[in-house]
Amino acid sequence: MLGKTSTKILMHAIAVMRPRGGFFDAEIDGDVARSILSFLEYLPAPTRLTFPLGLRLVEYGPFLFREGLRRFTSMDDETATRYIHHWERAGGAPAMLYQGVRALVLVCFYQHPKILEAMEVDWQGRADERVAYRAAVLRARVKPAKAAAGAAATTQAPAKTEAASSEAVATADVAATTEAAAADDAAGQSHAGADASSGGEG
């Protein structure tokens, strides 16, 4: 994605901006540069297209900060570090360019396997621990909920049976009352017929 000149500028920026000392001195600048280049593909098109232009500004900009008519890539590390911090303190667009390049360098640097190993950082192991912890928490919450649901179902079953029995008894009572009323009506009609017959004979 970047040409040879832009890649050379980026490599020098990495060498100046990356942490140093102890296990941070690992020779991984090339890997960091490749990680940055692969990350650039996911940036918005305007940022992706203007990134090489920003690198060229850094390359040819020393005269803007009284660092002479020389290129960034020709500076030794101490001079380059002093020069690059001019961009940070300049504010506005220059500071944004500095912060953007520095953020890419640091993110890709600290995500390098050698650095993660040296810092004893195991992202996958940490993720596995979190997944196992959440699964244990969910199991602890689900078991009491299932037990409560089972107890509620057991309590409701006798209540439903009792309600059904009460309903059956009530239905039987209504039926018996209806039959008794029908029998009384029939008896009343019989007596009425008998009284009518007796009156007619008299």
Q: Where are the alpha helices (DSSP H) in the chain?
A: 4-17, 29-40, 45-60, 77-90, 92-110, 113-118, 123-201
Match 């990680």 to its residue by tokens: 35
Ramachandran assignment for 52, one of left (phi > 0), alpha (psi -120 to 50 degrees), beta (any other) = alpha
Return the beta strands (E) in 49-200 as ranges.
Answer: none
CA 174 to chain centre: 63
Tell me the per-residue pLDDT of 67-95, one tens digit each, with 9 for 90 and over.
888 999 999 989 999 999 999 898 888 89
Residue 142 token pair: 């689900």
Q: pLDDT tier at 138 (50, 70, 90 boundaries)?
A: confident
Q: Quick one: CA dihedral 43, 49, 54, 56, positive or negative?
A: positive
Residue 36 token pair: 């940055």
| pLDDT-wise least confident of 18-22, 87-91, 125-129 | 125-129
Tell me the per-residue pLDDT of 53-68, one tens digit each, with 9 for 90 and over.
999 999 999 998 888 8
Q: Coil, strand or helix: which one is 42?
A: coil
Q: Mean pLDDT across the stretch 122-144?
A: 80
Q: pLDDT tier at 33 (50, 70, 90 boundaries)?
A: very high
Q: What angle do CA 75, 76, 80 make, to 5 degrees?
A: 65
**pLDDT at 186 exceeding the cut of 80:** no
Closest by alpha carbon to 106, among 199, 41, 174, 16? 16
Q: pLDDT tier at 199 (50, 70, 90 boundaries)?
A: very low
Could you tell me the residue ranges of all domains in the chain?
Answer: 4-121
